[in-house]
Amino acid sequence: MRSDSPRHQGQRLQLVEQLRERGIVDERVLEAIGQVPRHLFLDSSFEQYAYRDAAFPIRAQQTISQPYTVAFQTESLHVASGAKILEIGTGSGYQAAVLAAMGYKVYTIERQKELFDFSKGLLQELGYRVTQKFGDGYKGMPAFAPFDGILVTAAAPSLPQELLEQLRPEGRLIVPVGDVESEQSMHAVWMDATGARHEDVLGQFRFVPMLKDVDAGR
């Protein structure tokens, strides 16, 4: 088994300082990024780059999000510790681990069987308590709704309506929406207690596409 080391810990603290310089202000997010061993979520061939602020390829032609993006999406949730969060697109499991390290109750869905299996094994091994589902994230997890926040880590061609319906009033959906071939705008969408809808655009990002149905692999 690969493990953590003082060298990795030192690199993580440097990454945290870079994220602070780039404008991440939520200390709880920075603390979690300072704790989660990102190098274990990457293929071993990329391990030496794990604490660069960059995205890298993972299995099934997907990517692990850039730490800045993970931090930005997480701090955009605006939720208190202990909140119930749904993530769409488990991928490597890194974002789910950051959320769990912050003390959230984490639910996450992945449509690629290979990544579902990999992330499940790793999150368990590292002791992060996360409820994982192999399925189509467009459908959410109605059995566990409502959520205090929902975070989508793949590019949606349009706003995923079913997910909005699984939010508590004032709970925010953070989702990159737009052309999957180029950049997407990060949207924060929420309903207030009267049912009125609110929406902010937070910035431009690049994600792999949010696809329909599951991929069970070969």
Give contact residues for ligand SAH (rule: CB under 6 A). 62-65, 88-89, 91-92, 94-95, 109-112, 115, 136-138, 153-154, 208, 210-211
Assign 3-class secondary structure to 13-59: HHHHHHHHHCCCCCHHHHHHHHHCCHHHCCCHHHHHHCCCCCCEEEC
Coil, strand or helix at 80: coil
Contact assessment for residue 122 and residue 90, using Cβ atoms and an 8 Å cutoff: no
Distance in Å, CB of 192 to ligand SAH, minimum: 27
Distance in Å, CB of 177 to ligand SAH, minimum: 14
Rounded CA-CA distance 140/69 in Å is: 22
Distance in Å, CB of 195 to ligand SAH, minimum: 26
Contact assessment for residue 39 and residue 8, using Cβ atoms and an 8 Å cutoff: yes
Distance in Å, CB of 184 to ligand SAH, minimum: 12
Residue 31 or 43 having the CB closest to ligand SAH: 43
Residue 113 or 196 having the CB closest to ligand SAH: 113
Residue 26 or 114 having the CB closest to ligand SAH: 114
H helix intervals, the chain: 6-21, 27-35, 67-76, 94-101, 113-126, 161-164
Rounded CA-CA distance 150/77 in Å is: 8
Catalytic residue numbers? Answer: 65
Residue 91 or 178 having the CB closest to ligand SAH: 91
